[in-house]
């Protein structure tokens, strides 16, 4: 079907991990190794270059930016003197680190692939969610996830919802006062979908970028799919933003392969207006 969206920005390499913050959309142009912003007029700015390939983004309570450095297994902080290491994730993460959500206390929840995806179909290996405390302490929050990807935290701070891309589902956890995750459950089974990046709305619905198709879908708890938004290419991430948080930003590209992506520069940010505003984190 023809796309229903407007193109805000194109010519990107591989846009991922969008966040609405400070009146702009922040995102990682992953294979270009840059964290960037774009405003609603399409004006861009490069915030910082990340040699280890940026992925998940978030902010500490004091406003400092956190960046997942994907291929060297690190969590970085951007300060006045540039990027510094907050935590080494390599003792837990066996493969590329990926998306992240940061809660209001500054705790970072970070996933990793659990298997390689760039050199053919290897045997699947389950992965963990890694928690990095504000003091830099690193531990496993939960394990046995099938390629944990996009994550959201509900406005009350009590529930974490995770997209399991290889599990064709969204899973939910209770967030305990100490930041640990308990009460694992299937929030929505999504057979036939490859859920990648996600974002939450004020009606507690979740927008899901389906990496297996040119589509972003709205999902209710239990798995009912409502609105479907057709986009111009494969959808890898989404975020609700704008002044009223009713603009749905969708990251699309034709390939995940780094070399091919740098040659094609097919990455786009597409937008559409929705009825229910965004909520929660990120």
CB of 114 closer than 8 Å to CB of 149: no
126-173: pLDDT as tens digits? 899 999 999 999 999 999 999 999 999 999 999 999 999 999 999 999
250/200 Cα distance (integer angstroms)? 14
Residue 17 scores a pLDDT above 70: yes
State the pLDDT at residue 94.
Answer: 81
218-257: pLDDT as tens digits? 999 999 999 999 999 999 999 999 999 999 999 999 988 8
At residue 280, what are phi and psi to the nearest 5 degrees?
70, -160
171/152 Cα distance (integer angstroms)? 11
State the pLDDT at residue 52.
Answer: 96
- The SS3 call for residue 259 is helix
Instruction: Provide Rg for the chain, Cα atoms.
Output: 17
49/69 Cα distance (integer angstroms)? 11
State the pLDDT at residue 2.
Answer: 55
Taking every pair of Cα atoms in the chain, the longest distance, rounded to a whole number of angstroms, is 49
CB of 148 closer than 8 Å to CB of 162: yes
CATH, domain range 6-273: 2.120.10.30
Q: Is 171 exposed, middle or buried (0-12, 13-18, 19+ CB in 10 A)?
A: buried
The answer, yes or no, to whether the previous bond of 77 is cis (omega within 30 of 0) is no
Q: What is the pTM of this model?
A: 0.94
Q: Where are the domains of the chain?
A: 6-273
Q: Is 270 exposed, middle or buried (0-12, 13-18, 19+ CB in 10 A)?
A: buried
CB of 196 closer than 8 Å to CB of 236: yes
CB of 201 closer than 8 Å to CB of 240: yes
76-133: pLDDT as tens digits? 999 999 999 999 999 999 889 999 999 999 999 999 988 654 554 555 678 999 999 9
């Amino acid at each position: 079907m023809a796309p229903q969206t407007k193109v805000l920005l194109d010519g990107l390499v591989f846009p991922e991990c969008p966040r609405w913050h400070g009146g702009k959309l922040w995102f990682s142009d992953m294979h270009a190794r840059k964290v960037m912003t774009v405003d609603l007029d399409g004006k861009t700015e490069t915030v910082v270059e990340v040699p280890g390939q940026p992925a998940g983004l978030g902010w500490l309570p004091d406003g400092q930016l956190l960046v997942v450095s994907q291929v060297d297994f690190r969590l970085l902080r951007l300060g006045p003197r540039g990027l510094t290491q907050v935590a080494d994730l390599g003792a837990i993460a066996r493969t590329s680190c990926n998306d992240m959500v940061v809660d209001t206390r500054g705790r970072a929840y970070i996933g990793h692939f659990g298997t390689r995806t760039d050199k053919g179909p290897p045997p699947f290996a389950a992965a963990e969610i890694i928690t990095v405390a504000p003091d830099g302490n690193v531990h496993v929050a939960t394990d046995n996830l099938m390629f944990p990807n996009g994550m959201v935290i509900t406005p009350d701070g009590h529930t974490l919802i995770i997209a399991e891309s290889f599990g064709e589902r969204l899973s939910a956890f209770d967030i305990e006062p100490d930041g640990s995750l308990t009460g694992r459950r299937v929030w929505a089974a999504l057979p036939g979908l490859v859920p990648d990046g996600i974002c939450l709305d004020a009606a507690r619905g979740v927008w899901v970028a389906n990496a297996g198709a040119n589509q972003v879908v709205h999902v209710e708890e239990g798995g009912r799919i409502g609105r479907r938004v057709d986009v111009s290419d494969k959808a890898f991430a989404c975020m609700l933003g704008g002044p009223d948080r009713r603009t749905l930003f969708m990251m699309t590209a034709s390939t995940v392969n780094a070399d091919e992506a740098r040659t094609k520069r097919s990455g786009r940010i597409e937008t559409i207006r929705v009825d229910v505003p965004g909520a929660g984190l990120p």
